[in-house]
């Protein structure tokens, strides 16, 4: 009888596929797929729908039954989370330094936190949370991510030379799936404000020209304000909110945009060989952050609706309808390094390769640049004086 793509016979493969059903991640992790040639545990190969053996290079294709990606009703979930969305119990490790919670390979007993670099010894605990509905698989493999980091480091102005060597020496990267909430909502907003229309009026002014007083006419800018009120509507789709405080918001915001057209129904196969962080921003807090994001877009709609040259918004009463959510995982390569007595983060979008990071500055380089600018300024001033104030 032929061997199936998981290194098992077809009947056994059906059991693995069934393990991807909601609520059965624990069984899936216990029966990790192994290489059909050498028996080693497989890991997801970025940019593919395959699992790859790190030892012999053989690949097995990921074959799971298609599952719809479901949007869950937000109001129902906030009333009763258990009834509104499927839950999953996951074994995670919690870092004692930064409090990040993430999965750890079951055969590894020590390592370092991918968020802060702190050394950890595995001491897992069970977390019961809303199950991820979808996952965006890695497209960028670690070697390509390291090249992106190296190019980013070499492009930094005023960075210490030792920092730039991070990309060539001990700059290990960890592949981590970050937890996100996405929200859809149909909004209507009643607003009040003012519309400003600019106009100009002539004004007589006295000026001194060659020791003589002259009267001139100049146009003075003024604004005519009138009350404004109205209603605007906007439908929001997949407003992203990072469900973790482990990384700075500015960093993760700059990793956007994400192309969510490539998301897959959640299966732990895409997580094989990677870590996944458990969310620490609860659903209600996540929607509060999404609401603030939506209000910024709505404010732009209101200004367009008010019209005129200037707009002032005094109030916005936003109403949400048909609001839904889902929990998804997005891929990021993380590096954490120490320079001096401080820890710095570097992150790479695992889909696009965009790089963002924290960095120290070389104050010697900055001081040298300031001194150089002062010298150039002094030379230009000297030339200006010598030319009698006539340059060019």
Cα-based distances in Å from 129 to 85, 244, 329, 365? 10, 13, 14, 48
pTM value is 0.76
Two structure tokens written together for 280: 């620490």
Mean pLDDT calculated for residue range 22-33 = 49
Q: Please list the helix, strand and coil fractions of the chain in percent, rounded to the nearest 5, in that order.
A: 25, 40, 35
At 165-224, the pLDDT tens digits run: 554 444 578 899 999 999 999 999 999 999 999 999 998 888 887 778 888 888 889 999
Q: Residue 9 pLDDT > 90, yes or no?
A: no
Q: What is the CA 340 to chain-centroid distance, rounded?
A: 27
- Residue 290 or 367, more confident: 290
Identify the pLDDT of residue 6. 28
End-to-end alpha carbon distance in the chain? 88
- Highest-confidence range of 170-184, 218-232, 247-261, by mean pLDDT? 218-232
Percent of all residues in the chain with a pLDDT value above 90, rounded to a whole number = 36
Pairing of strands 264-265, 342-349: unpaired
Q: What is the pLDDT of residue 32?
A: 66
Write down the pLDDT at residue 5. Answer: 27
Least confident of 1-10, 97-106, 351-360: 1-10
- Kindly report which listed range (1-10, 139-148, 369-378) carries the lowest average pLDDT score: 1-10
Least confident stretch, 12-21, 66-75, 110-119, 376-385: 12-21
* pLDDT for the residue numbered 61: 83
Rounded-to-integer distance, Cα 35 and Cα 43, Å: 10
pLDDT of residue 91: 72
Distance (Å, whole) CA 392 – CA 389? 10
pLDDT band at 24 (very low <50, low <70, confident <90, very high): very low
**Separation CA 231–CA 128 (nearest Å):** 42
Which tens digits make up the pLDDT trace of 289-322?
999 999 999 999 999 999 999 999 999 999 999 9
Distance CA 263, CA 9 (A): 29
Show the tokens assigned to 204: 């007589």
Phi/psi of residue 236, nearest 5 degrees? -105, 140
Least confident of 3-7, 26-30, 84-88: 3-7
pLDDT digits (tens, 9 = 90+) for 117-150: 666 655 555 667 888 999 999 999 999 998 888 8
Three-state DSSP state, 106: coil
């Amino acid at each position: 009888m032929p061997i199936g793509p998981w290194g098992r016979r077809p009947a056994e493969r059906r059991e693995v596929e069934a393990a991807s059903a909601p609520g059965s991640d624990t069984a899936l992790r216990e029966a990790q797929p192994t290489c059909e040639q050498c028996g080693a545990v497989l890991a997801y190969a970025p940019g593919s729908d395959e699992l790859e053996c790190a030892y012999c290079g053989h690949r097995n294709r990921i074959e799971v039954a298609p599952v719809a990606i479901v949007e869950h009703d937000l109001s129902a979930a906030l009333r009763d989370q258990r009834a509104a969305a499927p839950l999953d119990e996951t074994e995670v490790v919690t870092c004692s330094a930064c409090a990040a919670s993430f999965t750890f390979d079951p055969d590894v007993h020590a390592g370092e936190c991918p968020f802060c670099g702190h050394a950890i010894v595995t001491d897992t605990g069970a977390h019961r949370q809303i199950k991820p509905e979808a996952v965006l698989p890695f497209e960028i493999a670690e070697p390509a991510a390291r090249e992106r980091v190296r190019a980013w480091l070499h492009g930094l102005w005023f960075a210490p030379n030792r920092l730039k060597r991070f990309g060539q020496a001990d700059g290990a990267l960890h592949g981590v799936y970050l937890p996100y909430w996405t929200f859809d909502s149909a909004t209507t907003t009643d607003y009040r404000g003012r519309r400003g229309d600019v106009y100009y009026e002539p004004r007589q002014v006295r000026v001194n020209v060659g020791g003589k007083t002259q009267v001139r006419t100049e146009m003075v800018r003024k604004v005519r304000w009138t009350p404004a009120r109205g209603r605007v509507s906007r439908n929001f789709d997949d407003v992203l909110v990072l469900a973790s405080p482990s990384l700075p918001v500015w960093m993760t915001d700059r990793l956007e945009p994400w192309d969510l057209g490539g998301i897959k129904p959640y299966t732990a196969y895409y997580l094989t060989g990677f870590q996944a962080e458990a969310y620490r921003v609860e659903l209600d807090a996540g929607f509060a952050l999404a609401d603030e994001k939506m209000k910024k877009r709505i404010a732009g709609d209101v200004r367009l609706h008010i019209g005129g040259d200037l707009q002032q918004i005094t109030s916005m009463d936003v109403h949400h309808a048909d609001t839904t959510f889902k929990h998804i995982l997005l891929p990021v390569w993380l590096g954490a390094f120490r320079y001096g007595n401080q820890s710095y983060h570097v992150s790479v979008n695992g889909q696009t390769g965009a790089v963002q990071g924290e960095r120290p500055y070389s104050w010697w380089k900055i001081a040298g640049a300031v001194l150089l600018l002062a010298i150039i300024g002094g030379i230009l001033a000297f030339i200006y004086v010598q030319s009698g104030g006539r340059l060019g």
